[in-house]
Chain A
Amino acid sequence: MHSLDWLVLALSLLGVVAFGVWKTRKQRDAKSFLMGDNSLPWWTIGLSVMATQASAVTFISLPGKAFQDGMGFIQFYLGMPLAVLVVSAVIMPLFYRTKVFTAYEFLEKRFGRLPRLYTAFLFLVQRGLAAGITIYAPAIVLSTLLGWNLTLTNIFIGILVIIYTVSGGSKAVAQTQKQQMGVMMLGLFVAAALLMVGISNHMPLNEGLSMAGMTGKFNLIDLKPDFSSRYNIWSGILGGFFLSLSYFGTDQSQVGRYIGGKDIRQSRMGLLFNALFKIPMQLLVLFVGVLVFVFFQFNPQPVHYNAPQLDVLRASDEARPALLQSEADYRAVVSKKQQLQEAWEAGQLSDSEFGPAYRGQLQKEQSIRQDVRDLVVSHIPEGDPNDSDYIFLSYIMGYLPVGLVGLLLAMIFSGAMSSTAGELNALGSVTAVDFIQTFGLMPSSGKGQLLVSRLATAAWGLLAIVFATVFSLFDNLIEAVNIIGSLFYGTILGIFCVAFFMRWVGGRAVLWAGLIAEAFVLLVYFGTEPLSLAFGWDLEAPAYLWLNPIGCLLTMLLAALLQPFMPKPVATIE
C-alpha cells in the first residue's frame, strides 16, 4: 500500500479517536458515562443509530452479495420503518416514563428480577458474539488481502475502539459516530462515482445497467410467498418487522443510543431519521456491488477473489493442474462474453437474444468458480472457500488511485469501529446496571460507579477481541450477524411484548415461556437437519428471518397458556 494511503487511513482513524477522547474528557459519574448526560440532539442520535448498524460487514459483504445474487437483500430492510414507528410511539415513551438506564431494567419493574436477568443474559450472549464478528469481519479480509497478521489486526481495531469507548462512554460513541458516518458516506459516493466513470469508458452507463438487469441483478422485489426463501417481500416485511422491532425496541445497543437524547422529542426524531434514510443508504451499498459486477465484465477479474488462496493452490503439485484447467476454461468464457457484448452493442443481438446467452455464460463462469472453491476445500483445510467478501476489496486494491485506497479502507474501519463502539457501550451498560448493580456490588460513590462501568466496557472489549480471534467464517459475514441476532431476538421481543400488551401475565409465566420458546427456536435452527436425517422426516428449516416471529409469538402464546397455573402478577409500574 502506498504511503499516501497509509497517511489518509491513519489520519481518518486516529483523528476520530482523538476527537472522541478530547470532546468527552470530563466524565463525572456512571450516569454521565452510560447515558451521556441526556444532552444529544436528534441529528446526532439519528446518525449514531445508523452508524451503530453500519458495520464493516456492511461495506465488505453487501457489495459482494449484490455482485453474486443481485439486490434482493434490500427486502430484508422493508419491515424496519414500520417497526421504528411502533418503537417511537409505544416503546420509547415507556422507557422515558420509567426513567430506565437499560431496556431490561424496565422488565424488573414489570415482572420482577428473574425475567430481567434472563433477558439481559440473552442479550449479552448474542451481542457479545456479534461484537466479535464486527471486529473479526474486516480483520480477516484485510489481513488476507494486505498480508497483515490477523490477530494483530483484531487487536488493533479492538484497542482503538476500547480507548474512546472506555474514556468517553456513550457521549464519545455518539460524537465519533457522526464523524465516522461522514467518512463512510464519502467513501461510498466516491466508490460509486469512480465505478460509473470506469464503466462509461467501455459502454454507456445505462447499457451497463441494462446488462446487469438482464443477468438478474435487479431482483429487488420477489412477491412469491416461499417460507424457505431467505429474501422475499413477505419475509422482509413480516420477519424484518419483528427483527427490527426487537433490535430497536429491546436491544441495548440501540436503546442506549436514543435514550441519551435531550428529551423524547429529540429521540423520536433521531429514530424517524433512521426510518427514512436507512433503506436508501443500503440501496446505495448494494448498487455499488452491482456496479462492481458490471465493471468486472470489462476488466480482468480472477477466477477466485481470495488471491492468497490462489497462490497456495498454484504452489501445490496436486492442485495446480486442475487450477490451470479451470483458469483456461475461465478465459474461454470471458472471451465468449466479450463477443456477446460486442455483438449486442453493435445491434447484431437483440435484448431477448443477448440476455439468455449472456446468463448462460455467467452460469458457466459460476460453475468454474465453484470448481475452484472445491479445490480450496480439498487442498486448504483451514481455508474458507467463499470469496464473496473479497470482491469489493479486490476492486479497491486493484483499480483505485493512490489516496482513495486509504479513504475506502478508512470507510471500512470506520464501520467496524462505529458498530463495535455502540455494542461495547451497550454490553458495558447492561453488565454494570443489570448485573453488578442488581446484585448490590456497585460502589456507592460516583467515582467508584464510573470506574466499574469503565471496567465492564473494557472487559467486553477484550472479550470481543478474544471472540474475534477464534471465529471461523460463515457463508457471508452480514448473514452471520443477522442469523445470530435472529436466534435470540424473537424470544427477547416476545418477553417485551408480554410486558407491554398482556398485563394479566406475570413474571413466572413469562420466564418459563421465554425459556421454552428459546429452546424451540434453537431446536428449529440447529435440529431440523439432524432430526430429518435421523428419523427420515422430510423437514425443511424456515429461513432465518422467520425465527423472529416464531420466537416472539411462541413466547406470547406460552405465557398466555401458562399464566392460569402461575401466581397472579403484582402491578409494580405506576
Chain B
Amino acid sequence: MGYGTKHRLNLGILYLLAMQDHEKPPLLPSWKAWYLLVIGVEALLIVLLYILTQRFA
C-alpha cells in the first residue's frame, strides 16, 4: 500500500502511522510508550520550571 492510495493524509494519519509500526523499539515495548514518555517528561519539566519560577518570584 503506497502513500495516498487508500489513506487520505490528514491529521488522523499521525495516530494511524504511529499505530501501524509493529517494529519493536529499543528499551520500551512500543513506539506509543516512547511518545508518551517524551510527553510526560515535557509536562513534568514545565511544572518543575513553573514551581521554580514561583519559588523565586
Contacts of A279 in B (CB 8 A): 42, 45
Q: Is A97 an interface residue (CB 8 A)?
A: yes
Bound-state CA distance A95–B46 (Å) is 32
Q: Select which of A74, A86, A275, A501 is within 8 A of B9 by beta carbon.
A: A501
* Shortest distance between the CB of B3 and any CB in chain A (Å): 5
Q: Which residues 1-57 in B have Cβ within 8 Å of A in the complex?
A: 2-5, 8-11, 13-14, 17-18, 21, 23, 25-26, 31, 34-35, 37-39, 41-42, 45-46, 49-50, 52-53, 55-56
Contacts of B21 in A (CB 8 A): 93
**A89-B18, A218-B56, A501-B9 known; A276-B4 Cβ under 8 A:** no
Determine the chain A residues whose CB is within 8 A of the CB of B46 once the complex forms: 78, 221, 233
Given contacts A97-B3, A573-B3, A573-B4, contact A268 B38 (CB under 8 A): no
User: Given A85-B38, A221-B46, is A501 in contact with B26 using a C-beta cutoff of 8 Å?
Assistant: no
Q: Name A45-96 residues within 8 Å CB distance of B.
A: 74, 78, 81-82, 84-86, 88-90, 93-94
Give the contacting residue for A265; candidates B4, B11, B23; CB below 8 A.
Answer: B23
- Residues of chain A contacted by B26 (CB below 8 angstroms): 42, 265, 269
Q: Given the known A-B contacts A501-B10, A574-B4, are A81 and B56 also in contact in the complex, defined by CB atoms under 8 Å?
A: no
- A241 CB to nearest B CB, Å: 11
- Asked whether B9 lies within 8 Å of A503 as measured between CB atoms, the reply is yes
A386 CB to nearest chain B CB (Å): 26
Contact, CB under 8 Å: B56 / A213: yes
Q: Is the interface of B mostly helix, strand, loop or mixed?
A: helix
Q: Judge whether A221 and B25 touch: CB under 8 Å.
A: no
Find out whether the CB atom of B3 lies under 8 angstroms from the CB atom of A574: yes
Task: Check if A74 sits within 8 Å of B38, measured CB to CB.
Answer: no
Which listed residue, A84, A88, A90, A233, touches B13 by the CB 8 Å rule? A90
**A214 and B56 contacting across the interface, CB-CB below 8 Å:** yes
B55 cross-chain contacts in A, Cβ below 8 A? 213, 218
CB of A219 closer than 8 Å to a CB of B? yes
Question: In the complex, what distance in Å separates the CA atom of A219 from the CA atom of B42?
Answer: 18
Q: How far is the CA of A82 from the CA of B45 in the complex (A)?
A: 13
Interface residue from A94, A276, A574 paired with B41 (Cβ < 8 Å): A276
List chain B residues, Cβ under 8 A from A265. Answer: 23, 25-26
A571 and B4 contact, CB distance less than 8 A: yes
Report how far A258 CA is from B45 CA in the complex, Å.
26
Smallest CB-CB separation from A212: which chain B residue?
Answer: B56
Interfacial chain A residues near B9, Cβ < 8 Å? 500-501, 503
In whole Å, how far is B2's beta carbon from the nearest beta carbon of chain A?
A: 4
How would residues 19 to 62 of chain A score, 1 for a CB under 8 Å from any chain B CB and 0 otherwise?
A: 00000000000000000000000100000000000000000000
The distance from the CB of B49 to the nearest CB of chain A, in whole angstroms, is 4
Asked if A81 and B4 make an inter-chain contact with CB atoms under 8 angstroms apart, the answer reads no
Question: What is the distance, in angstroms, from A523's C-beta to the closest C-beta of chain B?
Answer: 30
Within 8 A of B (CB), among A523-574: 571, 573-574
Find chain B residues with CB under 8 A from A221 CB. 46, 49-50, 53
Which of B3, B10, B17 has the most chain A CB atoms closer than 10 A to its own CB? B3
CB within 8 Å for A218 and B3 given contacts A269-B26, A501-B11, A503-B9: no
Q: Closest CB of chain A to B7's CB: distance in Å?
A: 10
- Our pick among B31, B39, B49, B52 for the contact of A81 (Cβ within 8 Å) is B39
Contact indicator per residue, chain A 152-170, by CB within 8 Å of chain B (1) or not (0): 0000000000000000000
Tell whether A210 is near chain B: CB-to-CB under 8 Å. yes
Q: Is A220 an interface residue (CB 8 A)?
A: yes
Alpha-carbon gap, A152 to B26, bound state (A): 46
The CA of A573 and the CA of B21, in the complex, are separated in Å by 21
Q: Are A89 and B4 in contact (CB under 8 A)?
A: no
Q: Which residue of B lies closest to A86 (CB)?
A: B14
B37: which A residues are within 8 A, CB to CB? 276
B22: min CB distance to chain A, Å: 11
**Residues of chain A in range 271-300 having any CB-CB distance to chain B below 8 Å:** 272, 275-276, 279
Whether the Cβ atoms of A220 and B38 lie closer than 8 Å is no
User: Contact between A89 and B14 (Cβ–Cβ < 8 Å)?
Assistant: yes
- Most B CB contacts (10 A, CB to CB) among A97, A212, A217, A276 go to A276
A98 within 8 A of B: yes
B17 touches A89 (CB 8 A): yes
List, in ascending order, chain B residues with CB within 8 A of A90's CB: 13-14, 17
Provided the pairs A214-B56, A573-B2, A574-B5 are in contact, do residues A85 and B49 lie with their beta carbons within 8 angstroms?
Answer: no
- In the complex the two chains form, is B31's CB within 8 Å of A268's CB? yes
Contact of B53 among A78, A88, A220 (CB under 8 A): A220
Whether B49 pairs with A220 at a CB distance below 8 angstroms is: yes
A374 to B36, CA, bound (A): 51
Contact A94 B3 (CB under 8 A): yes
Q: Which residues of B contact A74 (CB under 8 A)?
A: 49
A89 to B9, CA, bound (A): 13
On whether the beta carbons of B17 and A93 are closer than 8 Å, the reply is yes
Known: A82-B42, A221-B50. A98 touches B25 (CB 8 A): no
- B residues less than 8 Å from A276 (CB atoms): 37-38, 41
A98, A222, A268: the one contacting B3 at CB < 8 Å is: A98
B42 CB contacts on chain A under 8 angstroms: 78, 81-82, 275, 279
Q: List 12 A-B contacts (CB under 8 A).
A: A81-B39, A81-B41, A81-B42, A86-B14, A93-B21, A97-B2, A218-B56, A221-B46, A268-B31, A500-B9, A501-B11, A573-B2
Lowest 4 A-B CB distances belong to which pairs? A213-B56, A574-B2, A220-B49, A218-B56
**What 7 new A-B contacts, CB under 8 Å, besides A272-B38, A573-B2?**
A82-B42, A214-B56, A217-B56, A222-B53, A276-B41, A503-B4, A503-B9
